[in-house]
Amino acid sequence: MRWIPILLFGLYFAYYYFSHQEKVPYTDRKQLVDMDRQEEMALGLQSYQQILSDSNVIQSGETVDMIKAIGQKLALAAATDDPGFDWDFNLIDSDQANAFCLPGGKVAVYSGILPVAENIDGLAVIMGHEIAHAIARHGAERMAHQKLMQFGQMAAGMALGGMDIGAQRAVMGAMGAGGQYGILLPFSRNHESEADYIGLIYAARACFDPREAPKLWDRMNANSEGRTDEFASTHPSPETRIKQFEEWMPEALEVYNQNCQ
Identify the CA nearest to 23 among candidates 180, 135, 125: 135
| Distance of alpha carbon 201 from alpha carbon 97, whole angstroms | 23
CA distance 113 to 94: 9
Determine the Cα–Cα distance for residues 83 and 130; give it in Å rounded to an integer. Answer: 16
Q: How many other CB atoms are found less than 10 A from the CB of residue 49?
A: 12
From the number of C-beta atoms within 10 Å of its C-beta (0-12, 13-18, 19+), residue 133 rates as: buried
Give the CA angle between residues 39, 40, 46 to the nearest 5°: 90
130, 141, 192, 194: which is the annotated catalytic residue? Answer: 130
| Residue 141 annotated among the catalytic residues of the structure | no
Active centre residues (catalytic): 130
